[in-house]
Every structure is written in C-alpha cells, then in structure tokens.
Amino acid sequence: QQPVQSPQAVILREGEDAVINCSSSKALYSVHWYRQKHGEAPIFLMILLKGGEQKGHDKISASFNEKKQQSSLYLTASQLSYSGTYFCGSILSGSARQLTFGSGTQLTVLP
Amino acid sequence: DSGVTQTPKHLITATGQRVTLRCSPRSGDLSVYWYQQSLDQGLQFLIQYYNGEERAKGNILERFSAQQFPDLHSELNLSSLELGDSALYFCASSVASAGVTEAFFGQGTRLTVV
C-alpha cells in the first residue's frame, strides 16, 4: 500500500520553512525519508520507528504520529541545496517489510 | 558513493529483447530491493530479496524476474521488452530484512527501449 504524500510540489525562497506530509491508511511499522536530485540516486535522510518520535538531521527533522499513521518532514531555514524530490517510504506493520514509496514532493528553493 | 554498484549504467535495446541488470550490494548487506522509476515518476517497488530468498513482491510484471545469488549480488531480468519499460532501475541494499535500517541506493541503470 503506497503512502500518500502532500503537497506534490513546493516552491520557497532560501531561508523559508517547509513541511511535507506522509500518511498511510494502514498501520505503519516505520517511515523512511529520502531526497533525490534529478537523475541521481535517492539519499537517505532518516528513519522513524516509534509513535511520536522526532528525529533531526541538521535543519531537517521529522515526526511520526503512530496513532494517526502520519509522518511529517520539517525543513527549517531552507538552503538551495535542499532542492530535490522528497520521498517518504513506509513499511507496514505485519507486512513482509517491503519498503514502498509515496509519489514524492518536489521542493524548489529559490535564491 | 553509497557502496551499491549497478551495471550497466546505460542500456539501449530494441523491443522484444531481453536484458539483465546487475546489482552488487554494500559489503555486509543481506537485503536487496529493486525499484523502477519512470520519467519524473515515483519509485515503484518491484521485489526484495534477503540472504538469497525472495521476501516481498510488488507490482512486478510477469515478464520480469529477479534472483539473489549466494555471493549476495542480484540480477533483474527483463524480457519481451516494450517501449513502456524504459525507465531508471534502482537497486538498494540494507543490512536487515527491512524496516529498521536505512537502504542505500545504487546509481541506477537507465534502460531505453527503442
């Protein structure tokens, strides 16, 4: 079951903040966040395993609401290098542990 | 460099042909995943292997097959190729079966079917 990401695209200025959401209709075991630059391999950002857990990576952090089966990725004070497509990947509870990705959110940071 | 090696990087072939894509996971990683990414689209999960055994299957066509060998490298075989099979094919590897550890992606094989 593919997670649902929103928004599909975001355009912001350098220094602005952004939030990308990821939700599932089924119980999640874990949520993974990746960033992909055009034509390149996706790069791992973070994994969230427990409800309410929040992790950070430089000025990028994420939360996981296990009760709502939702995760959000927070980009603070965006830098030009943050531009790319962000994918959330989900692994469902009780599943064969396949890592299924959402359709992605295209983030563009302008100077 | 993620440590995951995919070959070839580019492949151009005709419709109806068969090709094999190869993936060498990071040293120590037992799990291999295959994904298909069509132009500007998302990552479609195809199949996952763990230590030589198939663990999960996604929307993989019957014309496609894969296997993981004892040395843990994996191959994705695509046969009776169609124009719509043109895409970037990624392989990823992780230490664990799935869920608790990050997956590292290779640089992908760009397949063009003409």
- Residue of B56, B75, B78 lying closest to B67 (CA atoms): B75
On whether any CB of chain A is under 8 Å from the CB of B30, the answer is no
- Residue of B18, B4, B2 lying closest to B72 (CA atoms): B4
- What residues does A53 pair with on adjacent strands? none
Residue A102 and residue B42: Cβ atoms within 8 Å? Answer: yes
| B101-112 residue pLDDT tens | 788 999 999 999
Percent of chain A with pLDDT over 70: 91
* Closest in B56, B100, B105 to A41, CB measured: B105
Rg (CA), chain A: 13
* pLDDT at A47 > cutoff 80: yes
Q: In this structure, are strands B109-113 and B10-13 parallel, antiparallel, or unpaired?
A: parallel
Q: Which residues contact A103 (CB under 8 A, 6 or more apart)?
A: A2, A4, A5, A8, B41, B42
By C-alpha distance, the chain B residue nearest A33 is B102
On whether any CB of chain A is under 8 Å from the CB of B34, the answer is no
Spell out which residues of chain B touch residue A47, defining contact as CB-CB under 8 Å.
100-102
pLDDT at A23: 94
Is the distance from CB of A63 to CB of A54 less than 8 angstroms? yes
Element (DSSP H or E) covering residue B112: strand B109-113
| B9-63 residue pLDDT tens | 999 999 999 999 999 999 999 999 999 999 878 899 999 999 999 988 998 999 9
- What residues does A75 pair with on adjacent strands? A18, A60
| A56-69 residue pLDDT tens | 667 899 988 888 88
To the nearest whole Å, the CA of A12 is away from the closest chain B CA by: 20
pLDDT at B113: 97
Task: Give the C-alpha separation, B30 to B21, whole Å.
Answer: 18
Of residues A95 and B28, the one with the higher pLDDT is B28
pLDDT at B97: 65
Mean of per-residue pLDDT scores for chain B = 93
Question: Confidence class of residue B98 from pLDDT cuts 50, 70 and 90?
Answer: low
Most confident of A29-33, A63-67, A85-89, B99-103: A85-89
Phi, psi of A82 (to 5 degrees): -75, -15
At position A56, the amino acid (one-letter code) is G
Residue A99 and residue B97: Cβ atoms within 8 Å? Answer: no
Task: Give the C-alpha separation, B98 to B48, whole Å.
Answer: 9
